[in-house]
Amino acid sequence: MHHAFLVVIVAALGAQLAAQGTGRLSGNPTPGTPQPDPPSLADRITLTGCVRWSAPNGRGSVPSRELNTPSASTFILTDAVREARVPAGTGTSDAAKKSVSRTYRLSALNSALVPFVGARVEISGEVANSAAREDAPQAPVLTVGFVQRLAKTPCP
C-alpha cells in the first residue's frame, strides 16, 4: 500500500512538470500583433552629435500622453559626425553611403529621446531611404536603434 501511494505521488508530480513545458519561448511574443522587420545592417550608421528639440527656437516639450508615441519630427541630431568604427557590412546601402548630413531628424519613441536633449550622444540606427525634394530639402531621417550619452562632453 505504501509503495502504491508513492507511485501515485511521483506520477502526479511528473504529469505536473510535463504540463509546464520546456520553458523555451518561440514564435510571436504578442499573437495578433505584427512584428517589425529585422534591422538592415546595410542601412545602419553610427553618429555622434547633439540631441535637440526640432522646433525653430530650439525649445520643446512632450505632453505626458505622447511619451510613448513614435515621432520623426520632435527631435534632431545636430553637429553629426559619422563614426567609422562599426561592424563589417554596416552602412553599405546607397542611402547609408550618401548620408553625409550634419543634421538628422530622429525617429523614435518620444520617451527614448527626452532624457538626452542637450546632451552629446553616440547614436545608431537605420537611414530612411527617402530623398528630399529640391524645393523643400529636409534633413534625412534616422530610425534610432541605440543611443548613449557621451561622458562629460557638452554640446555647444
For the stretch 21-48, pLDDT in tens is: 555 555 656 677 677 677 778 889 999 9
For the stretch 99-114, pLDDT in tens is: 888 999 999 998 899 9
> pTM of the prediction?
0.70
DSSP codes joined into one string, 40-97: -GGGEEEEEEEEEE-STTS-----GGGTTSEEEEEEEEEEEEE-----TTTT-SHHHH
**CATH code that applies to domain 41-154:** 2.40.50
